[in-house]
Structure 1
């Protein structure tokens, strides 16, 4: 690069020039910074929009009311909270003496939890094939209706006995949600299907559950010998 020199008359002052072009001072690259910030903000806005849309599209739990006459012709009302996103169906069963029990079907973990009203007790049972079939009918029906009326002359009724394994306590902290919240501060027991309590054992309590497939199951509990 070739420099030029401008000398004064006295020859005592020298100044460097740049081919007639004015000297430029360095500037901070504002355009590059603002462009980067704009791109980052655009990515954040898009991410928030996508997240909001995904959360908005998640189906909300739906309440399905089931009305069916009992064996004496009296109408029995039940309600089922269907949470398709978490694969959970929660029944609220009200008895004739206005006691409401909770029956929770945790499809994801394959468990059923029975929690009678006015008792700090939960009873667990593993889901079987028939349980999955009954709950799936409710999942399918809930897409179309929120009120189901079952005909008494077309409803199949059955009874099943569950023996309570009193010596096998379950710690609530070992359970997954929503069972952990439902059974918090409660005594938790495993149960197993049995033929019946026998003459020497008394039935503890019964819960009637009706499904949209015109099947009503009366689940009766009793304690097995220790």
Structure 2
């Protein structure tokens, strides 16, 4: 029988030693931010242990997957995630992604064929900006942002003719095409890839990892330290 006190978890039924978890916790507790860590033995400290354990398990899972796929993690460059990417991956996957080349290699492999869904189509040819002159100064405006009756009367009057509608007085002095909207294709693709990776990772964890008591996922509602205080 395996001594579960010395086991981080089981990957494909194979026990993983707890040594790497203990090493990382020791580094944290001896590091410059040790004073900010929860008190040893507290519920928060046990949650920290669970969180670090899940990071290590994620790295071990992806290391095994990289071997199975014949990937070369050494060819994958280090990455520092921005805040949006970290939130979309979740804190555990984000930490593993930044800390492990194997995780990044598997990310590239499992999301290589992901295609982003296009955003809503806009007919840019019909979009324009109006140049307006008013008693308070000149400015450019999207006609859709103007009061409807004012926009209608300015269009009917044409350029150079002052229009007064209620409290508004303005002259349409020119019209020009609206600037092209920014290209968000890369942003949308990156987001879609992160979503796809999280789905793959959640499925792989459920199918291949067996957690041990005390090292459950910190968000597992069944473990005793997952509770909210009000």
TM range (shorter): under 0.3
By relative contact order (CA 8 Å, sep 6+), the higher-ranking structure is 2
Q: Which protein has the larger Cα radius of gyration, Structure 1 or Structure 2?
A: 1
| Structure that is richer in strand per residue | 1
| Structure that is richer in helix per residue | 2
